[in-house]
Structure 1
Amino acid sequence: MQKTFARSIILSIFSLLIALVMVFPGANTAESKEKITMSTATPMYPAFAEQIGINLYINAIIGMTETHPDLKKYEFKIFDKGMLYGNQSEALEAVSNGAIQMTYSAPHFLEELDPAWKLGETPGVFESWDHYMRSMNTPEWKALHDKMAKEKGVTIIKWLFDTGTWYLFTDTGPIKSVADVEGQKIRFAGGEAFAKALKALKVTPIALPYTEVVTALQTNMIEGLLTDFTGGVGYFELARHTKYAVLIPFGNQPICMVANTKWWEGLPENVRETLSTTFDQIDASKYYEKFEQESIEKWDADPKLSALKFEKEEIAKWQKLMRDSFADMYEKLDPELIKAIDTAR
């Protein structure tokens, strides 16, 4: 009797398990999915300007792994807030050595793989995001991409967008020419290139962390700073501290998605094409262009503020001064890359 009862219980449990498998057919295959791991040091949303754009691409990939037949066997996992790596340099290194499959990057991180990427954000080198993209599509810069993939194990899947143009914001003006900024104390985030650019304009460059900027403006330690409309204006509440936005482009902030080369090239061709197509179908650069333009118009419409615009000749004068200050840097880089940038203007 007891044996019959026990046998009935076992059969009932077995039948229940079979029913569950039939109802939830994916339950027994969840663990067999291949993982695609991406890491970022910053929160994905909404604390940082670049993450608004990154989210568009990431969410698209997550959705595709749920619906597209080519990607259903993959599970896309994103780790942000430094959960895996404390900064983007470490995340890029992890992609390079294959510890993770993907991350996003910018030229100042790629410099660690090849010094030629110094040009990516050097003030006065690129006139705009369009100029940057035209340059990246030249044979010379494509060769640099290929070299990095082959020698450093990092493949750029796509240049995604420009987080925003660097402009000069100051409380001292008005400014009609480069002579009007001479002697001003201007904060910059750091880096040899920006220090050289500011010195070439005869201003006093002061490197300060983000956390000290507002206090420095309030105490007149600085008269202005370099930042962007997409994040800096709101973060620093610049409308309260600086009257003039000097619309001379100092540089751009290009963002790309990168992958470990061995992993990327080892994917089945249809999977790689589907992922690439997903990235190509989204153009976040239009969002940033629109947001920047609307922010400039809003600034200019405020009677207490002024967006200072210049003729092409004056812009070229500022940018030439900046570019000439990097002559020693250029000597150490491939001249063909610089020539390609000039050809793409």
Structure 2
Amino acid sequence: MTLTIRTLIGTAAVSALALASATGAQADTWKYSLEEAIDEVQGVYATQFKEYVEANSDHTVEIFPYGTLGESDDTTELTQMGALQFSTASPGFMGKVIPELQVFLLPYVLPEDHAVLADFYKTSDTINEMLAAKYDGVGLHLVDMYPEGEVVMTTQEPVTSPADLDGVKFRVMTTPMLVETYRAFGATPTPLPWGEVYGALQTNIIQGQENPMFFVESTKMYEVTEHITYAGHNNFTTAVITNKTFYDGLSEEDQALVGEAADAAYAHIIEYQQGLTQRAEEKILEAKPEMTVTVLTDEQRAPFREAAEQVKQKFVEEVGGDAKAVLEGFQADIEESRERVAGD
């Protein structure tokens, strides 16, 4: 199963990548594409991965920041084709290819505690076995998954309840469960490619979007919105994937190298994220002092949590397959992580 490359098929960039792949799946230069800029969280992770690989082998890693090779759908297909060896692929886009991955988009499922979250991604059998096996079926191999930061809403008007989102055209990634989430929250979900979001906010085509705070700051989304809301409903997740044929063709030594590099990058990015949200918020308020930041109370979050229950039910009913087992597995794995962190 593959996606459709809208802008890159037939271009010199794709031809060059495909040629490099064809000359040897285990080429010394491994190409790694991002959904973000090199100085954002995915870039920090990828740089650490690159440094580990190059310090411990003769291989080199070439990183392609967001926009270099198109949108996320494009780079995922390039990885499936083998033109890229590695790429980041968030569930917001991959949920169209592997529907069960939309569990990461369900509101109020992931733990809010950073230590519990970090433990969960590394130890969850549901992620690292059940969901990892789903990637194999679409020509990919799951290398790693990690959180990028609590998701916040940025809007033109204050948000303290679902009623405040009534009639708001809210940008979402093109995946059904994110559409269902914002519909349940009272908004009018509007799927848009990321490259169109700033202009759409600026021209009032949409009036809201969600992302981790560091991304709101680095992409200057605060310039075209007026209010930031912490509802505690999710943490942005991303995955590192590799072409399955490429990975299966690696020597045992190189497969171990990939795993070790991912472990080093994971540990680094978890530490890097400590205080990242707060630092980004401070930068936003320094650049735009009139920006309001609201942290919803438990009472204010209650109707959002109630709405979230119908989204979880739709996930089970509409995705089908292993959706129920995945959701139940998440709940069990998260509880084990809470117990483990509490016992440390």
- Provide TM-score, normalisation by structure 1: 0.70
- Work out whether 1:338 is the aligned partner of 2:323: no
Per-residue CA distance 1:258-278 (angstroms, 9 max, x = gap):
234454355444443344223
Question: Among residues 225, 249, 258, which one is paired with 2:209 in the alignment?
Answer: 225
Q: Secondary structure at the match of 1:55?
A: helix
Question: What's the counterpart of residue 4 of structure 2?
Answer: none
* SS across alignment from 2:170: strand
Q: Is residue 2:34 matched to residue 1:50?
A: no
**Partner of residue 306, structure 1:** 292
Please name the residue that 1:182 is paired with. Answer: 166
Contact residue 172 and residue 178 of structure 2 kept, 8 A: yes
Q: Is structure 2 residue 182 aligned with structure 1 residue 198?
A: yes
Letter aligned with residue 154 of structure 1: L
User: Deviation at 1:338?
Assistant: 0.7
Count of aligned pairs between the two proteins: 304
Q: CA deviation at 1:318?
A: 1.2
* 1: CA distance, partners of 2:79 / 2:193: 28
Match of 1:104 among 88, 97, 102: 88
Question: CA offsets per residue over residues 138-179 of structure 1, 9 Å max, x none?
Answer: 3333332452365444322222x3334332112323x44333
Q: Find the counterpart in structure 1 of residue 315 from structure 2.
A: 329
Contact 1:246 1:309 in 2 (8 A): yes
**Per-residue Cα deviation, 1:316-337 (whole angstroms, up to 9, x for no partner):** 5413413413523312142111
Distance 1:79 1:307, change over 3 A: closer
1:140 is aligned to 126
- Provide the rounded CA distance (Å) in 2 between the counterparts of 1:193 and 1:323: 12
What one-letter code is carried by the residue in structure 2 that aligns with 1:134? F
- In 1, Cα distance between the equivalents of 2:253 and 2:78? 25
Q: Give structure 2 stretches of 5+ with no counterpart.
A: 1-22, 336-344
How far apart, in 1, do the equivalents of 2:178 and 2:212 lie?
14
| Corresponding residue for residue 9 of structure 1 | none
Could you tell me how far apart the structure 2 residues matched to 1:94 and 1:303 are? Answer: 42
Letter in 2 for 1:156: L
Name 2:260's counterpart in structure 1.
Answer: 277
CA 1:84/1:196 → structure 2, altered by over 3 Å: closer, same or farther? closer
- Whichever residue aligns with residue 139 of structure 1, its letter is D
| 8 Å CA contact 2:50, 2:61 repeated in 1 | no
Q: What corresponds to 1:246 in structure 2?
A: 229
Distance 1:53 1:290, change over 3 A: farther
SS at match of 1:284: helix
User: CA–CA distance in 1 between the matches of 2:111 and 2:232?
Assistant: 7
**How big is each residue's C-alpha offset from its partner over 1:185-213, in whole Å with a ceiling of 9 and x where there is no partner?**
43334432222222212223344455554
Once the two structures are TM-superposed, the CA of residue 119 in structure 1 deviates from its matched residue by 1.6
Cα offsets for 1:76-115 (capped at 9, x unmatched)? 3526369996554454445446555433322245435532
Instruction: Report what 1:78 is aligned to.
Output: 62
Shift of 1:116: 1.0
User: What SS class does the counterpart of residue 163 from structure 1 fall into?
Assistant: strand
Query: Does the Cα contact within 8 Å between 1:40 and 1:87 map onto a contact in 2?
Result: no
- What secondary structure is seen at the aligned counterpart in 1 of 2:232? strand
Contact residue 160 and residue 300 of structure 2 kept, 8 A: no
**Secondary structure of 2:231's aligned partner:** strand
Question: Which residue pairs with 1:158 in the alignment?
Answer: 144
Q: Letter of the 1:140 partner, please give it.
A: T
Q: Normalization by structure 2: what TM-score?
A: 0.70
CA spacing shift, 1:36–1:327, aligned 2, 3 Å: farther
Give the equivalent residue in structure 2 for 1:116. Answer: 100
Give the letter aligned to residue 308 of structure 1: T
Q: Is the 8 A contact 1:196 1:322 kept in 2?
A: no
Match of 2:52 among 42, 45, 60: 60
What residue number does 2:154 align with?
169
Q: For residues 323 and 297 of structure 1, do their structure 2 counterparts lie closer, same or farther at Cα, with a shift above 3 Å needed?
A: farther
Whole-angstrom distance in 2 between the partners of 1:146 and 1:206:
29
SS at match of 1:322: helix
Paired position in structure 2 for 1:293? 278
Please tell me the root mean square deviation across aligned C-alpha atoms, in Å: 3.8
Equivalences for residues 18-33 of structure 1 within 5 A: none
Structure (1 or 2) with the larger CA radius of gyration: 1
* Contact persistence 2:166–2:186 (CA under 8 A): yes
Following TM superposition, by how much is the alpha carbon of 1:52 offset from its aligned partner in structure 2, in angstroms? 3.4
Long gaps (5+) in structure 1: 1-30
Cα deviation digits, residues 3-44 of structure 1 (max 9, x gap): xxxxxxxxxxxxxxxxxxxxxxxxxxxx99x52453355598
- Whether the 8 Å contact between 1:162 and 1:288 is mirrored in structure 2 is no
